[in-house]
Amino acid sequence: MATRSTTRLDRPRASTGGAHVRLARWRINAILLLCLLLIARVVLRLGELQVLRHGELRTLAEREIAQQITLLPTRGMITDRLGNVLAMDVDRESLWVIPGLVDQEKAPRLALTLAALVGKPADSILDALTDTKHYWLPVARWLEPEVAAQIEALNEPGLRLEYEPRRVYPQGSFAAQVIGAVNFNGEGISGIEAFYDSQLKGITGTLEAEFDGARKPIAIAPSRTVPPRNGINIQTTIDPLIQYVIERELKTAVEDHNADGGSIIVMDPRTGAIRGMASWPSFDPNRYGDYPEEVYARNPAVSNLYEPGSTFKMITVAAGLQARAFTADTVVNDTGVVFRYGYSLSNWNSGANGMLDSERVLYFSSNVGALQLNELTGPERFYAALRDFGFGRPTGVELGGEEQGIVNSWGSPTYNDLNFLTNAYGQGISVTPLQMVQAAGAIANDGVMMKPYIVERRCEGTVCTDTEPVVVGRPIEPGVAWTVRQMLVHSANHYSPVVWGPITGDYSDTWLVPGYRVGAKTGTSSIPIEGGGYDPNYTIGSVLGFGPVDEAHYVVLVKIDRPKDDIWGVGTAIPVFYKVMDELLRYERIPPDPGLVDPGQS
């Protein structure tokens, strides 16, 4: 009985256990089905990624991982003739951001911190920090070392400090117009920097590699590097002492006489090497953007045109003597005023000087005498001589922005007979200061005209090329050059108040540079104004000369623009010429001529 009872009680329990098994199996099957669905989804997704979108995703991956980085070369150095560095590249750290690695919740506060460090608006920095469309964005370039150290200390994973070269000019504004400047894209925009831009900047290299999220090359991945080629190094012809002297004297003269500006050029007429070239106003190429474009982008010594005035009379006399149109003894009658083609042409004071030969035309700076000498020469031979002297075309000096001048030559559509006469005394013709120096150099160098140059040597690595002096013409014979030089010695060394009128200082009966035979010619240039005519209030004063006259080492042009206290200009330019030439001759250790006698004491 007990056994049956027990058996009866066990039957329903067996039935309940089967239900549990069936429920467990259903759950397992459901889970397996779900797993199969998930696996199928994964398989489908993998199929989509691996097959359907394989090409697209591969391209995106290669774009993110496999990249080509440009390797920048070092821009070449520029030095003076003694090796002092005038321009060079210095590596400075620049700040970049990888937005994908920036904690976006912290981005606003990080932007404020960076703004205080780099001096840029926080809004623009925040835009870069939150720009998820780009992988790599610049924030600030060329940080000061202490600023870079502070940013490094922030230890932010999305910030990167990368070195890149920055152009610096250790001497500041020294020889600024000669050296020029480089913009923020690394392109030369003026001076030697512009003329030799492609050679100075060198050739970029490349690095093809796979990069991680921190933009660092993956060491075990294959890579290919093409190294950059650094730019050439340039040694200029600029002598640091000469450049210092002319910049000092020019700045002093402009400030003392409240002038608008000016230029001084010093050239060796035997080779064409430019030993000094300065213009005012100047600028600091380290921060060229703080100055007007016309200041940093132009070198007035080669880019600004002006009417040379009476300094051009030395060319007029040389052209006539070379053409055999007259001799040194030929005289013309200076009546003070003459009438030609319905116009009156006169001397500066309309005063008559009587019968004058060529030397006294230069001595008295006679406009009437010069135009009569030009009438003897004739337009065809006169303008042929101007071409031979290099007027109307660039000198070819290695500086950006050189102008060619304006010459209305015989036979050209712009020629007229009145201009031919006024050209004799430097009106109606436009030249650059360097063109005048080149032409005067031919007179100083026995009629041989040299091409001006300002680059002494170019070095690519260890291979250097020196500039060879180039003869560009022989506009006059040695005898003509000697004759004109002697005339210019007398013109320079025997000043008279009758000639110069009411100028500052008394230059009567004195040597221009005591103890030295220096040839020179002064000039007062009229300034054309829009609409025709000339400025009635201001002029340009200049002195163009060379010394010592028998074997000239230097040609010097001093040009002062619109001095406010000197209507004739020469009273401003003469003292500057004297100081510059005196220092140059002493710098060359040229002893004074013991045979010279002060004409005021003779």
Across 268-272, 444-448, 500-504, least confident range: 500-504
pLDDT for the residue 152: 80
Which residues, in sequence order, are CB contacts of 386 under 8 Å at separation 6+? 315, 319, 392, 407, 409
Whether omega before 502 lies within 30 degrees of 0, making that bond cis, reads no
Q: Are 335 and 350 in contact (CB under 8 A)?
A: no
Which residues, in sequence order, are CB contacts of 199 under 8 Å at separation 6+? 76, 231, 232, 458
pLDDT grade, residue 101 (50/70/90)? confident
The fold of 240-597 is: Beta-lactamase (3.40.710)
What is the rounded CA–CA span in Å between residue 464 and residue 455?
Answer: 12
Q: Are 437 and 265 in contact (CB under 8 A)?
A: yes
pLDDT for the residue 291: 94
Nearest to 49 by CA among 58, 62, 36: 58
pLDDT grade, residue 442 (50/70/90)? very high
Element (H, E) at 344: strand 343-346
Residue with tokens 């002195």: 543
Q: Is the pLDDT of residue 64 over 60?
A: no
Q: Is the pLDDT of residue 566 over 90?
A: no
pLDDT for the residue 2: 45
pLDDT for the residue 599: 44
78-79 and 66-71 beta bridge pairing: unpaired
Phi, psi (degrees; rounded to nearest 5) at 364: -85, 0
Where are the CATH 3.90.1310.10 domain residues in the chain?
A: 67-235
pLDDT for the residue 178: 96
Q: Are 174 and 86 in contact (CB under 8 A)?
A: yes
Across 123-127, 188-192, 438-442, 447-451, least confident range: 123-127
Residue 209: count other Cβ atoms within 10 Å of its Cβ.
Answer: 19
Residue 366: count other Cβ atoms within 10 Å of its Cβ.
Answer: 27
Instruction: Give the SS3 label for residue 210.
Output: strand
Q: Is the pLDDT of residue 240 over 90?
A: yes
Q: Are 158 and 131 in contact (CB under 8 A)?
A: no
Q: Which CATH architecture has domain 67-235?
A: Alpha-Beta Complex (3.90)
Name the H helices within 346-406: 358-363, 367-377, 379-388
What is the rounded CA–CA span in Å between residue 377 and residue 55?
Answer: 82
What is the rounded CA–CA span in Å between residue 599 and residue 460?
Answer: 55
DSSP annotation of 415 reads -
395-405 burial, b at 16+ Cβ within 10 Å, e below that, comes to bebbbbbbbbb
Strand partners, 343: 340
Whether omega before 292 lies within 30 degrees of 0, making that bond cis, reads no
Which residues, in sequence order, are CB contacts of 486 under 8 Å at separation 6+? 359, 519, 549
pLDDT for the residue 505: 40
What is the rounded CA–CA span in Å between residue 315 and residue 266?
Answer: 19
Q: Is the pLDDT of residue 137 over 80?
A: no
Distances (CA, A) of 365 to 50, 436, 498, 511: 92, 17, 11, 17
Which residues, in sequence order, are CB contacts of 354 under 8 Å at separation 6+? 333, 334
pLDDT for the residue 111: 80
Q: Is the pLDDT of residue 84 over 50?
A: yes
Where are the CATH 3.40.710.10 domain residues in the chain?
A: 240-597
Nearest to 82 by CA among 171, 207, 1: 171
What is the rounded CA–CA span in Å between residue 175 and residue 279?
Answer: 9
Q: Are 363 and 376 in contact (CB under 8 A)?
A: no
Instruction: Give the SS3 label for residue 291.
Output: coil
pLDDT grade, residue 496 (50/70/90)? very low
Q: Which residue has the higher pLDDT, 597 or 430?
A: 430
Residue 203: count other Cβ atoms within 10 Å of its Cβ.
Answer: 13
Nearest to 193 by CA among 176, 210, 207: 176
What is the rounded CA–CA span in Å between residue 354 and residue 373?
Answer: 14
pLDDT grade, residue 76 (50/70/90)? very high
pLDDT grade, residue 70 (50/70/90)? low
Element (H, E) at 66: strand 66-71
Q: Is the pLDDT of residue 163 over 90?
A: no
Which residues, in sequence order, are CB contacts of 55 under 8 Å at separation 6+? none
DSSP annotation of 226 reads E
pLDDT grade, residue 287 (50/70/90)? very high
Distances (CA, A) of 313 to 6, 169, 212, 285: 146, 40, 73, 38
pLDDT grade, residue 212 (50/70/90)? low
The string of pLDDT tens digits covering residues 110-125 is 788 888 887 788 777 7
Percent of the chain at pLDDT > 90 equals 57
What is the rounded CA–CA span in Å between residue 118 and residue 92?
Answer: 14
The one-letter code for the residue type at 502 is P
CB-hemisphere CA count at 13 Å for 205? 13
CB-hemisphere CA count at 13 Å for 521? 33
Phi, psi (degrees; rounded to nearest 5) at 279: -140, 155
Nearest to 214 by CA among 65, 55, 89: 65
Across 386-395, 412-421, 520-529, 589-598, least confident range: 589-598
pLDDT grade, residue 55 (50/70/90)? low
pLDDT for the residue 299: 95
Q: Which residue has the higher pLDDT, 8 or 372?
A: 372
pLDDT for the residue 7: 46
pLDDT for the residue 43: 76
Q: Which residue has the higher pLDDT, 1 or 53?
A: 53
Side-by-side strand order, sheet with 261-267: 274-280, 261-267, 554-561, 534-547, 519-528
What is the rounded CA–CA span in Å between residue 523 and residue 569?
Answer: 8
Across 151-155, 466-470, 543-547, least confident range: 151-155
pTM of the complete model: 0.82
Which residues, in sequence order, are CB contacts of 154 under 8 Å at separation 6+? 110, 113
pLDDT for the residue 222: 58
Tokens of 20: 């549990």
Distance of CA 482 to the CA centre of its chain: 37
The string of pLDDT tens digits covering residues 373-431 is 999 999 999 999 999 999 999 999 999 899 999 999 998 999 999 999 999 999 999 99
The one-letter code for the residue type at 557 is L
pLDDT for the residue 4: 46
Rounded mean pLDDT, 315-329: 97
Residue 228: count other Cβ atoms within 10 Å of its Cβ.
Answer: 16
Tell me what the pLDDT averaged over the chain comes to: 85
Q: Is the pLDDT of residue 278 over 50?
A: yes
Residue with tokens 């870069």: 128
DSSP annotation of 51 reads I
Q: Which residue has the higher pLDDT, 560 or 13?
A: 560
Tokens of 243: 């450049």
Q: Is the pLDDT of residue 129 over 80?
A: no
